[in-house]
Structure 1
Amino acid sequence: MLEYKIYINGEFRNSSDNSTMDAVNPYDRSVFAKLAKSTVEDTKAAVKAARDAFDSGVWSNKSREERSAVIKQIADKIKENSALLQELEIKESGSTYKKSKDDMFLTYRAASTFAKLALTDLNEELAISKPGVSKNLLVREPVGVVSAIIPWNFPLQMAMWKIAPALAAGCTIVLKPAPETSVSALELAKIIDSSELPEGVVNIITGDAEVGQEMVTNPMVDKVAFTGSTEVGKIIMQNAAATMKNVTLELGGKSAGIILDDADLELAVDGSAYAGYFHNGQCCVAGSRLIMTSKIYDEVVDRLRAKLAKMKIGNPMDKDTDIGPVISDKHQKRVLEYIEIGKKEGARLVYGGGVPKGFEQGCYVEPTLFADVDNNMRIAQEEIFGPVLAVIEAKDENDAIKIANATNFGLAGGVWSKDNERAMNIAAKLRAGTVWVNEWHLLNDFAPFGGYKQSGVGRELGLEGLKAYTEVKHIHVDEVLDRKKKFWYNVTVPQDLP
């Protein structure tokens, strides 16, 4: 049985009350690790460690080059330990071998990207400066202590999406992974501990809602970075408002793909299946709605059914498995309940809809396809976060855009077409933070990521993501040193304003 301790101020320790929690493998519901379960007192200690480290300047005062070198060191150690990290992620999350191997690369890439971005000089002299009169500088400084709370679907990648930009900006951080996937984060803590990062700069704790509450409300915290559901994001935003904390929220989605009549249907159908069923649809950007006109509707549905029938459900450790378990018993029940809701609402169940035979020992759900879905149905409006795709018929291209935008979310979207100009015209009209054309799930760490509407606040990744961990300061240096030329007490307004 594996055992893990929380990581505070450069030290691995048990929780203050010695409580523990189990790490459960969703493939067979077996317990494979015991973890220290953080208390509120542990959380306060982690925040204080981060506060003390930040205020001491032990990290924030380092040069851009020094910070970059340490982040690159962490990236290289992630790469060296990728086999172990991958095994742990498969066990804790049910991620397939193929998906988790990709996650290891993306975790390494995120760290490497921010090691490069850390070298960027974000300061600038503003154009309003006038030689001999004044110099105006825009200076970006680290925001301070960051509380980061991440979900269970991409545990290591999400950890690095928070840790790497925080370090690049000069911040200190307290990270709380989801209770379901804390093992890989605590293994990551060992990697961080072996680097040249000073004590207290990164702290990794575990726990549930009460720990998260302390992280969000503690007055020593300057910023909250959260990835998770819209419902929890709203609560975090309300709690953070009490002390006016800076927030970045990457929340839920109900993303729509639009297949145009001229699309290559082999490409569009395979891509739409990837959009909707990758990692069992447990992705904030999952293409969980699919829209097209009647001209290609029946053929697309038939092709999707055939595609799903060929997907291999199996042990996530097997390299050829396409569909593994969902994250937990609780989530399996939730997804199955939504499938029943879809049936009751009148949607036509085309494929799946239950627990696959032979996999009752785990938290499995069949890849499920609904056709004849009305966009007002709950399965078309609410984030299921499971392997459930809703196919919707549109009258025409404009109607497809209207349907795609008729949601409270705005995280992602996609267009499938042979005509890039036509597709780009539609992409411009979709109210979403990321829109793919003839692609899905492909992200670039140098490009910003985030959502419109109730899909979030702010952006992650790229320079925008780095700037999110900074405060902006304007410094005015006056070069007029003759007291007689100052007009402090006799201000006159020019008659002719520029």
Structure 2
Amino acid sequence: MVKLDKGRILKAPDSFFIDGEWTAPQSDRRLDVISPMTEEKLFSYPEGAAADMDRAVAAARRAFDDGPWPRMPARERAAYLRRVGSLITARLDEIAWAWTTQVGAPISLTRKLVPQNATLFNHYAELIETYPFIDHRRRDDGGEVRVLREPVGVCAAISPWNAPMVLLSYKIAAGLAAGCTMVAKPSPETPLEAYILAECIEQAGLPRGVFNLVPAGREAGDHLIRHRDVEKVAFTGSTAVGKHIMRVCSDRLARVSLELGGKSAAVLLPDADFAKALPSLMVYSMPITGQVCFSLTRLLVPEARKTEFLDMFLPAVQALKLGDPADPATQMGPLAMARQRERVEGYIAAGRAGGAQLACGGGRPRGFDKGYFVEPTVFTDVTPDMAIAQEEIFGPVVSVIGYSDEDDAARKANATPYGLNGAVYSADPERGFAFAQRMRTGGLTINGLIVDPKHPFGGYRESGMGREGGPEGLENYLEVKTVHMAG
């Protein structure tokens, strides 16, 4: 259904995957995918309508209620998941090019990250072979209790455009491992990876209706989350949309897991080695042109060492190689779309108007007549109340914030509505760990930044609820049933 070769779209999508078959759309509406590098149309493809979502949900409902998948022994589901993982592995280069072509993420980075997709399917295959889906316990009276962990049911998996396949794979791999049936709705800007995943699932031979794919825009997506046969919605995206999904699902108490925005802080403690910290800060303060929820966009530095830090950090930022994301030497490509560039430029203007000092960047780079480029930008003299320190920009904009002591650093690190990720740098890892416990955030790394799909990822407060990855990610898709054996 879809084929790429080094960024060239050899075959564009023309149908949906519903009930185990490639099926024609119910309307003639189409969506365009625009190149972030050339600003020209890459391809168009069918837009799902409410009727397509109804068909997909009905197929998932039948597969859950009457099909073998939820009742299949875990080891058999694991075998299917491993087949999917193997088929994904065979297409990793194609997946990397899809990411680079649609989003503008450098090919050197996408090739490094796409193996996580197969990792997730293989990880959940291994996990469910030993997971205690039935836990045998005893009551005080000596009677037996069996605590069952059963699949939630029909689940909608809604993924964003910035990391299209891995953020979908987190949901699909865990949901399928649990025994759920799935309806996937990828972002309309980045459909290709979801089609590749559907092809892998089809080739792996999963039963009909277990996985269904309907790419669509906002209207059909809203229809999906409101569907009464959808028992859980798993969403990654903006906090505003996450709040809307939670409100909609609350009407029928549908289960929800949300991985939302972030404004993550990297705290360099007074004893931090700036030279050792710099490589990870360069990678993770503006990854994929800053379009990553866990980006370290607030750098908290001791006031007494701020000049020392800036003298090291600013030249490194200014030396980043901007360019064609298809070039292996490129370190930063364009933003993904025109509206994203407008958003970032609006925040840069707000930072200037709010009194922050523009230390570098802030404009469109010279020599790029095409492409949604913005210079990597660093603000200093930033206070925690400023919009650029409070709100998720989702672009290559970093705020350097000074602090007086560790109490001040902790207050400033926690002074946003978010709590997704963070980092602490210290010459003493245990000192870093002690400080990390003061930060209200779902994930932290001492002296770097690590996101491992085999371990839980998610946030506090407005960064969401629930976790993806690891056993916690599986439990997102399970209900608990208690059975008392009285006789």
Name the residue aligned to 1:199. 208
> Matches of residues 315-330 of structure 1 in structure 2 within 5 Å?
315-330=324-339
Matched AA of 1:54: F
Distance, in Å, in 2 between the alignment partners of 1:121 and 1:144 is 18
Name the residue aligned to 1:495. none
Shift of 1:449: 1.1
Shift of 1:169: 0.3
1:90-141 per-position Cα deviation (integer Å, ceiling 9, x unaligned): 111111112211231111111111111121332344544368x421111001
Matched AA of 2:148: V
User: Cα gap change, 1:125/1:103 in structure 2, threshold over 3 Å: closer, same or farther?
Assistant: closer
1:334-370 per-position Cα deviation (integer Å, ceiling 9, x unaligned): 1011101101111111111111112230011111000
Name the residue aligned to 1:293. 302
Q: Does 1:244 align with 2:260?
A: no
Name the residue aligned to 1:59. 69
Shift of 1:62: 1.1
Distance, in Å, in 2 between the alignment partners of 1:360 and 1:435 is 39
Distance, in Å, in 1 between the alignment partners of 2:136 and 2:415 is 41
TM-score (norm 1): 0.94
Distance, in Å, in 2 between the alignment partners of 1:291 and 1:342 is 17
Name the residue aligned to 2:5. none
Matched AA of 1:109: T
SS in structure 2 of the partner of residue 288 of structure 1: strand
Name the residue aligned to 2:292. 283
Distance, in Å, in 1 between the alignment partners of 2:108 and 2:139 is 54
Moved more, 282-291 or 352-361: 352-361
Name the residue aligned to 1:496. none
1:191-229 per-position Cα deviation (integer Å, ceiling 9, x unaligned): 221111111111111111111111111000110000011
1:400-444 per-position Cα deviation (integer Å, ceiling 9, x unaligned): 01100111101111101111121111001100000110011x122
Distance, in Å, in 1 between the alignment partners of 2:393 and 2:186 is 21
Out of 175, 183, 202, the residue aligned to residue 166 of structure 1 is 175
Unaligned runs of 5+ in 1: 480-498
Name the residue aligned to 2:228. 219
Identity of aligned residues (%): 37
Out of 176, 186, 189, the residue aligned to residue 198 of structure 2 is 189
Out of 410, 434, 451, the residue aligned to residue 443 of structure 1 is 451
SS in structure 1 of the partner of residue 395 of structure 2: coil
SS in structure 1 of the partner of residue 161 of structure 2: coil
Out of 263, 277, 298, the residue aligned to residue 268 of structure 1 is 277
SS in structure 2 of the partner of residue 216 of structure 1: helix
Matched AA of 2:106: T
Out of 13, 16, 20, the residue aligned to residue 10 of structure 1 is 20
Out of 420, 445, 452, the residue aligned to residue 460 of structure 2 is 452
| CA RMSD across the alignment | 1.3
Distance, in Å, in 1 between the alignment partners of 2:452 and 2:465 is 19
Out of 252, 260, 263, the residue aligned to residue 254 of structure 1 is 263
> Matches of residues 334-345 of structure 1 in structure 2 within 5 Å?
334-345=343-354
Q: Does 1:468 align with 2:476?
A: yes
SS in structure 2 of the partner of residue 166 of structure 1: helix
Shift of 1:445: 2.3
Moved more, 142-151 or 110-119: 110-119
Shift of 1:398: 1.1
Contact 1:75–1:111 at 8 Å: present in 2 too? Answer: yes
Residues paired across the two proteins, number: 477
Out of 49, 56, 59, the residue aligned to residue 39 of structure 1 is 49
Distance, in Å, in 2 between the alignment partners of 1:447 and 1:424 is 18
User: Cα gap change, 1:129/1:57 in structure 2, threshold over 3 Å: closer, same or farther?
Assistant: farther
Contact 2:137–2:146 at 8 Å: present in 1 too? Answer: no
SS in structure 2 of the partner of residue 121 of structure 1: coil
SS in structure 2 of the partner of residue 311 of structure 1: coil
1:145-181 per-position Cα deviation (integer Å, ceiling 9, x unaligned): 0001111111110111010001100000001111111
Distance, in Å, in 1 between the alignment partners of 2:244 and 2:388 is 24
Unaligned runs of 5+ in 2: 1-8
